Amino acid sequence: MDDSDRKQDAPGCGSSPPGKKQKGPFVMRCDAGKHAWCRCEKSARYPLCDGSHRGSDVTPIKITIDEPRVVVWCACGISKNAPYCDGSHMRLC
């Protein structure tokens, strides 16, 4: 995937492309299957894990999606319902 592909796959709702922490969620259409939410904040695919946590004590939160759907991933890091956004980012604005 090059940068132009990444921009096309970028989530809606005004989010910037995945790759760094931000003050709002990443809204992404996800395929069915296993997904891992980054907790180390080093992933180049943040909020999704790219394996950058290896060698540390931090591990991703893994979820399984039964069918393709839109997922609202927390990208601010303070959700109490991680890996999903719970609106807590509103306190950061």
| Binding residues vs ligand FES (CB under 6 A) | 24-25, 74-76, 78-79, 85-89
Q: Smaller CB distance to ligand FES: residue 34 or 80? A: 80
With a CB cutoff of 8 Å and minimum separation 6, the contacts of 83 are 37, 47, 61, 63, 73, 74
Give the nearer residue to ligand FES in terms of CB position, either 32 or 78: 78
- By beta-carbon proximity to ligand FES, the closer residue of 48 and 75 is 75
Q: How many distinct helices (H) and strands (E) make up the chain?
A: 1, 4
| Cα 67 to Cα 45: distance, rounded to the nearest angstrom | 22
Shortest distance (Å) from residue 82 CB to ligand FES: 8
Q: To the nearest whole angstrom, how small is the minimum distance from the Cβ of residue 17 to ligand FES?
A: 15
Smaller CB separation from ligand FES, 5 or 35 = 35
10: CB partners within 8 A, 6+ apart: 16, 17, 18
Dist CA 72 CA 51 (whole Å): 21
CB of 41 to ligand FES, least distance (A): 12
